[in-house]
Chain A
Amino acid sequence: MTNVMKRTTRLSTMFAAALAVTGVLWGSGAAYGLTEAEIANLKGPERQNILVAGARKEGKVTWYSAMIINQALRPLAAAFQKKYPFVKLDYWRGSSRKIVQKVLAEIRAKSLVADVIEGSGLAQPMVKAGAVQPFYSPSLAAYPKKYRDPKGFWAASRFSYMGLAYNTKLISPSQAPKSYQDLLDPKWKGKMAWRAGSESGALLFITNLRLTMGEAKAEAYLQKLKGQKVINFSGSARTLVNRVVEGEYPIALNIFLHHPIISAAKGAPSAAMPLEPVPSLNGTIMLPRGVKNPHAAMLLIDFVLSEEGQTVLKKANYLPAHPKVDPKSSLKPIVPRLAGLKENFVTPEILFEYRKKSKALFDKYFR
């Protein structure tokens, strides 16, 4: 019995500690007597001072992002940490779907850990669930309107152009498929892989066709593509490109076009091939409702959207959203407006609206 009692005491102590910590953290948001909404929408010269003072007290910020850790998250975190050494930045990398699942679960369980979230394709479900807080950020004035939500729920943090990656040891650049029609060539049967069920993978591939070809033609195309036995892959886009580098799959569809270019720069046998019209997506950055460290969260959001933060992304071979920060010249061939290619910009709203039917088409033809 003593054992049981000890165990119960231990558990209840842990419970009490957890409750106490939660209470303290909740309280800290109101350091200046400001609500989260007020902090998120501070304007004018005092904004930075209040945020810095508040963040100093909070001392930490937790960021969930779909960006690849060793390519983009680490350099961004390091640059932020250098600028604000008094805020400890923790990040967790997950797919957009996992981020949505985690954050909604955390809100429901009243134990929100995330302070800032970022990814492609997570804006709409978060807004629909009423789980994000509209915010303002000074750098946004420079951004084109379509890169920000009119109500302020999200802002574009980066761009992604989707297309095909291939292994240059297995396929020469002249042979590589250059159009959607080329993908139906029997010689590619069983050699192409895409990310099953992923927002920016197979689903965006289908959505893009529906948007640009029309429903009937798109479905006819998918029927033919079914015969090509596209491999359903279940990791991240980065992992899929790694598999192309390893030669596991000669071709990957609808991956982030900058990934094979980053690898090629390191000597890996990979190349990118945009297929017209090139679907483009924006990564979105958001502030969940009820975060524990609102000041630090806003500092991080401001930083990511600023020229400074966007330049870090540029150096990491990502595609910045800030209009004043041009992508690296090595990436120009995949940026439609710079390469003279047709682009299909898929907004978070359209991506989400089209999701259900695209998923149904995917299940019908490819599972």
Chain B
Amino acid sequence: MTTKPEAIDSLWMPKETAGFWRRARSGFGYSPAVIILAGVLLILIVPPIIFLFQTSFYTTTFAGEFDKFTFGFYTELVTNPRFFNNFVNTTVYAVGSAAFAIALGTAQAWIVERTNTPFRQYMFLVAIISLGIPHVLYTIAWLLIMGKAGPVNDILRAITGAEEAVLNVYSMWGMILIEGVGFAPLAFLLLSSVFRSTDASFEEASMMSGAGISQTFRHITARLAMPGIMALMLLIFIRAFESFEVPALVGLAGGINVLTTDIYESIHMEMPPNYGQSGAFSVVLLLWVVVLLYWYNRLSRHAERFQTITGKGYRPRQMDLGKWRYLTAGLLVLLFLLIIGLPVSIVLWASLQPYYEGVTAGSLGRFTLDNYVEVFKAGSFRDSILNTLILGTATATAVVPFTALCAWLAVRRYKGGWFLDQMATMPLIFPAIVMGVAFLQVFLNMPFALYGTLLSVVIASVVREMPYGMRYSYAGLLQIHTELEEASAVSGAGEVGTFLRIVIPLVAPAMITCWLFLFLIAVRAVSMPILLVGPNSQIVAVTLFDLWENGQVTELAAMGMAWMALMTVVSCLFYIIVRRYRLSLH
């Protein structure tokens, strides 16, 4: 930035042009960091969007190349009654499971945050450990428990004397139940913060005015928490709308299709794969999620009208439930069984059997460790566990510093910082399977070999996790006052130096939990990687899905046990750091 070149420029250039060049050289007032980050974001996010739309407008040849332009895939959607039928299915399923998850989560959060029930503090650990269980394993565990040959039906048969299975889990209610229980820990974690930040003085006033616990809960606690609950309900509704594991494993077997399984089927059930159809479905699903997210943002903004955090000092009050606390403790134990106890037990049981035939007396004599031997042998199982650890580590390691930098530039209102924020949050509109379709097309059309490699899965996963990294970093950075950075700048440090030496150490604990959280969600994903992985880049969640389809239930169970043991270590680490630094879990 010496003045010399400018002086020379202005000698022989018209004034405005000279200004233009000077501004161009200094990046039009944009920090070079902003320009580079924006460039990286554009390269990562724009191609999938373009390819997704292109796919939905082109027929493909036998070999899968784009052929002719057409609107046919959209007209087919609109004219096919199945599409509307499946749309209704999707909505019923998403509303049902969101409502069920919120009901479980609310009960749990209230008991843990607001009462003196024994064991309540352990529920956080339960919720966090459940984060490490892949959703696909969870779903399979419940299918083993509630399937026609499972223990639940055995018990019901014994009670009713019926000859045939009483419950058919491959149904809409089965899907809602499994998805609802699966989302309950997340609902609990998010809701517990709603309850914690609610001023308890209203409840105290209610109790002093003679209302009982249930009356207080209904008229005060629930009402105060309602805006938070509504926003959460919409959030979980969106997640369920996009979910794939339960619809694929439960719904498809029961003949109930939703939009995500329609996308999966148009690629895997047709021969040759109907990429155009998958594209059109994906675009529709994407647009619908955009609408839902818009509502969610409005709802969570309106939630501020019900401000419950005031300047008054307060402590969340714990109600003394008296004898009733044994009942609530019983409820917590029940929830523990639903969330971890039963699914893990049935998986453990199946992992010790030569073939799965339900829980019968006959199978007691058949215990074997063969499945574990198979899993720990060198080969595909071990490769897939290793690949998954690489995937999780690479994703989290790339996303955390990247989004931390983006978030810092955005929080400190650098010119163009808002753009980084918007771009890095944008992947949120992609349901995972839609992002899979989009990236599949990107990698298929690359001039060099990338499809099917672990690197390609890492790239897609980085884009997918970026919004979560952004949220974490943003929240963490907002809490840091600028005066520390100003002091650094005054002492002569540049922006990079300030970021590395002041900002990073301050947000380090938040970044570490962010890293662990991203690791946990990256390794459990199925619906995006299932379209991208090749035989040399198998990852655990997809392998479990394949094993279920191939009918290797007992080996699946052994692999699931090994994986859960590994992930429990990671989850506990996460929990310890969160507690040590008193960080928020969300």
| B-binding residues in A (CB < 8 A) | 1-4, 7-8, 14-15, 18-19, 22, 62, 64, 68-70, 90, 92-98, 100-102, 104-111, 113-114, 121, 125, 128-131, 196-197, 199, 231-236, 238-242, 245-249, 263, 266, 268, 355, 367
CB of B401 closer than 8 Å to a CB of A: yes
By the criterion CB–CB under 8 Å, are B255 and A108 in contact? no
By beta carbon, the residue of chain B nearest A63 is B535
By the criterion CB–CB under 8 Å, are A3 and B451 in contact? no
By beta carbon, the residue of chain B nearest A131 is B63
B257-303 contacts to A, CB under 8 A, are 265, 267-273
Residues on A with beta carbons closer than 8 Å to the beta carbon of B451: 105-106, 108-109, 111
By the criterion CB–CB under 8 Å, are A19 and B448 in contact? yes
By the criterion CB–CB under 8 Å, are A102 and B37 in contact? no
- Among B272, B536, B548, point to the contact of A101 (Cβ < 8 A): B272
By the criterion CB–CB under 8 Å, are A1 and B356 in contact? no
CB of B342 closer than 8 Å to a CB of A: no
By beta carbon, the residue of chain A nearest B454 is A14
14 A-B pairs besides A131-B63, A234-B248, A247-B165 with CB distance below 8 A are A1-B33, A2-B496, A18-B448, A64-B535, A90-B380, A95-B549, A98-B268, A101-B267, A101-B272, A104-B63, A105-B440, A110-B446, A111-B451, A111-B453
Beyond A18-B449, A113-B534, whether A129 also contacts B272 by CB under 8 A is: yes
The distance in angstroms between the C-alpha atoms of A102 and B267, with both chains bound, is 10
Show 20 A/B contacts (Cβ-Cβ < 8 Å), sorted by A: A1-B32, A4-B33, A4-B36, A18-B448, A18-B453, A62-B535, A90-B380, A90-B535, A101-B273, A104-B273, A106-B452, A106-B534, A110-B447, A129-B63, A231-B253, A232-B253, A236-B549, A238-B551, A247-B148, A248-B147
Least CB distance from A146 to B in Å reads: 23
By beta carbon, the residue of chain A nearest B379 is A90
Number of A-B contacts (CB under 8 A): 185
Least CB distance from A268 to B in Å reads: 7
Least CB distance from A81 to B in Å reads: 11
By the criterion CB–CB under 8 Å, are B265 and A93 in contact? no
Beyond A110-B448, A111-B452, A355-B271, whether A104 also contacts B551 by CB under 8 A is: no
By the criterion CB–CB under 8 Å, are A105 and B357 in contact? no
CB of B550 closer than 8 Å to a CB of A: yes
- Among B253, B535, B546, point to the contact of A233 (Cβ < 8 A): B253
By beta carbon, the residue of chain A nearest B356 is A246
The distance in angstroms between the C-alpha atoms of A113 and B450, with both chains bound, is 11
By the criterion CB–CB under 8 Å, are A232 and B255 in contact? yes
Residues on A with beta carbons closer than 8 Å to the beta carbon of B265: 197
The distance in angstroms between the C-alpha atoms of A355 and B553, with both chains bound, is 31
The distance in angstroms between the C-alpha atoms of A284 and B402, with both chains bound, is 49
| Interface flags, B512-545, vs A, CB<8A=1, else 0 | 0000000000000000000000111010000000
Least CB distance from A74 to B in Å reads: 9
CB of B223 closer than 8 Å to a CB of A: no
The distance in angstroms between the C-alpha atoms of A7 and B398, with both chains bound, is 7
By the criterion CB–CB under 8 Å, are B82 and A4 in contact? no
Least CB distance from B264 to A in Å reads: 10
By the criterion CB–CB under 8 Å, are A235 and B450 in contact? no
Least CB distance from A167 to B in Å reads: 10
By the criterion CB–CB under 8 Å, are A242 and B272 in contact? no
The distance in angstroms between the C-alpha atoms of A248 and B356, with both chains bound, is 12
By the criterion CB–CB under 8 Å, are A242 and B553 in contact? yes
- Among B357, B380, B405, point to the contact of A246 (Cβ < 8 A): B357
By the criterion CB–CB under 8 Å, are B550 and A246 in contact? no
CB of B368 closer than 8 Å to a CB of A: no
B443-492 contacts to A, CB under 8 A, are 443-453, 455
Q: Which of A96, A245, A355 has the most CB of B within 10 A?
A: A245
By beta carbon, the residue of chain B nearest A107 is B63
The distance in angstroms between the C-alpha atoms of A232 and B148, with both chains bound, is 16
CB of B149 closer than 8 Å to a CB of A: yes
Beyond A101-B268, A197-B269, whether A68 also contacts B535 by CB under 8 A is: no
- Among A4, A15, A104, A113, point to the contact of B452 (Cβ < 8 A): A113
By the criterion CB–CB under 8 Å, are B444 and A105 in contact? yes
CB of B326 closer than 8 Å to a CB of A: no
The distance in angstroms between the C-alpha atoms of A100 and B398, with both chains bound, is 34
Residues on B with beta carbons closer than 8 Å to the beta carbon of A62: 535-536
The distance in angstroms between the C-alpha atoms of A97 and B64, with both chains bound, is 14
Least CB distance from B361 to A in Å reads: 14
By beta carbon, the residue of chain B nearest A130 is B63
By beta carbon, the residue of chain A nearest B398 is A7
- Among A7, A95, A109, point to the contact of B450 (Cβ < 8 A): A109
By beta carbon, the residue of chain A nearest B65 is A108
Q: Which of B248, B443, B496, B550 has the most CB of A within 10 A?
A: B550
Beyond A97-B271, A129-B62, whether A109 also contacts B452 by CB under 8 A is: yes
The distance in angstroms between the C-alpha atoms of A266 and B358, with both chains bound, is 16
Residues on A with beta carbons closer than 8 Å to the beta carbon of B398: 7
